[in-house]
Amino acid sequence: MRHAVGEAALALRTGDVPVGAVVLAPDGAVLGRGRNEREATGDPTAHAEVVAIRAAARAVGEWRLSGCTLVVTLEPCTMCAGAIVLARLERVVYGAVDDKAGAAGSLWDVVRDRRLNHRPEVVPGVLAEECGRLLTDFFRGPGREPPSRPGARPDTDFGTRPPVG
């Protein structure tokens, strides 16, 4: 998780939300690294998990990442959960819970949906406080405006509580 936290901190340089990810081989070697790059690249799919999965697939020379572990600082969203399933990752380890968009146990549980042909193990809450603090500090920082939608809540509370389920 420390590698993923380091990647998250690098995302701050480009004004991206500080989320970082690494894909580990079965022996623990880092196969791919990623951080949010949506602002840096203008690519809406450039989430840390997708960037890391793409890098790992290039490193192993194929799309199947069987036996590998994705470590990410924030609970994956539905897009990233889909990529995790499709890449056949064996395990997902994440830090902060995302009550607003999480798809690995909090809002949704895409990665463990019994209707899918692959369901990775999920290990939530690793260094959750540290991971959540990076995000909370970013969203409460200078220049951040509160949501304008009536009843919307600010993107400032990234939890350490366990996901539902």
Instruction: Look at the block and give the residue holding tokens 């840390």.
Output: 48
At 118, give phi and psi (nearest 5°): -140, 135
Using DSSP, state whether 159 is helix, strand or coil.
strand
**Residues at the annotated binding site for Zn(2+)?**
47, 77, 80
**Residues at the annotated binding site?**
47, 77, 80
Tokens of 31: 């196969």
12 backbone φψ class: left, alpha, beta (φ>0; ψ -120 to 50): alpha
- Nearest residue to 120 via CA among 82, 77, 161: 82
From the candidates 7, 37, 49, 75, which is the catalytic residue? Answer: 49
Using DSSP, state whether 122 is helix, strand or coil.
strand
Residue 49 a catalytic site member? yes
Pseudo-torsion of CA 56, 57, 61, 63, nearest 10°?
A: 150
Pseudo-torsion of CA 11, 63, 90, 33, nearest 10°?
A: -20
Which residues are tagged catalytic? 49
